[in-house]
Amino acid sequence: MSDQLEQPSQTEQKIFEAARHIFQRKGLEGARMQEIADNADIHKSMLHYYYRSKEALFQKVYQLSIMKVMPEIVNLLNEEVSLELKIRKFVVKYIETIQANPDIPLFILHELNKDPNRLKQFIMGQVGKKVEPFLEELRQAAKEGRIVDMPPEQILVNILSLTVFPFIGRPVIQMILGYEGKDFDRFIEERRLLLPDYVINSILK
């Protein structure tokens, strides 16, 4: 059954999916190996058979989670299109990315907050440098009077905030706005359509 491409076995996949779900929701310490096993509907020993330890399993989930959302920031901000279109596409695409993985942002931020050094170097170099061109682009646009005069770092954080926060703040938003059932999904749907205009209008002069 083993392909040349070394496909992970079905149980291995089931384990990983369950681990991803549990870890992303509850964090490293909040997750129980037994719970992951139950969730994957396999015996607990299998977790250690396929992944050495809890730490190792967590590490895989953690890394994959980061890979799912961090490079997006870089890629989308480095596309070869006009500033306006770039921002529009970023907002929409990033919302869609997170919509498909809504637990990741809070997960990463919580883990990162516990131990900021965990992947400092891992990303620091990668992402940091690649965002600079976008900042420069904003700086240039500001100099030419095409956009509002504001430090580009603030603008970038504005865009990120407006895009990412709703997912992180979901429970509070639901609470405050009295959302139930599919209400929140509709809210996000609406937002995906409105936000690009809002962001652009708030930046362009």
Partner DNA sequence: ATATGTTTTGACCATATGGTTGACTTATAG
Partner DNA sequence: CTATAAGTCAACCATATGGTCAAAACATAT
**Helix, strand, or coil (residue 6):** coil
> Cβ closer to DNA: 41 or 136?
41
Whole-angstrom Cα distance, residue 18 to residue 7? 18
Residue 34 touching its own copies (CB under 8 A): no
Q: What angle do CA 58, 30, 63 make, to 5 degrees?
A: 20
> Cβ closer to DNA: 2 or 4?
2
> Cβ closer to its own copies: 11 or 97?
97
Q: Under a CB-based contact definition with an 8 Å cutoff, are residues 163 and 99 in contact? A: no
Residue 22 touching DNA (CB under 7 A): no
- Applying CB under 8 A, among 45, 143, 169, 185 the residue interacting with its own copies is 169
Binding mask 30-69 for DNA (x = CB under 7 A): -xxxx-------xxxxx-xx--xxxx--------------
Cross-strand bridge partners of residue 204 = 147
Residue 46 touching its own copies (CB under 8 A): no
Chain-centroid distance, C-alpha 178: 25
Structure-block tokens of residue 173? 């938003």
Q: Which of 97, 88, 12, 3 is nearest to 46 (CA)?
A: 12
Binding region for its own copies (CB under 8 A): 25-30, 73, 103, 106, 108-110, 112-114, 116, 120, 123-124, 127-128, 131, 148, 150-151, 153-154, 156-158, 160-162, 164-166, 168-178, 187, 190-191, 194, 198, 201-202
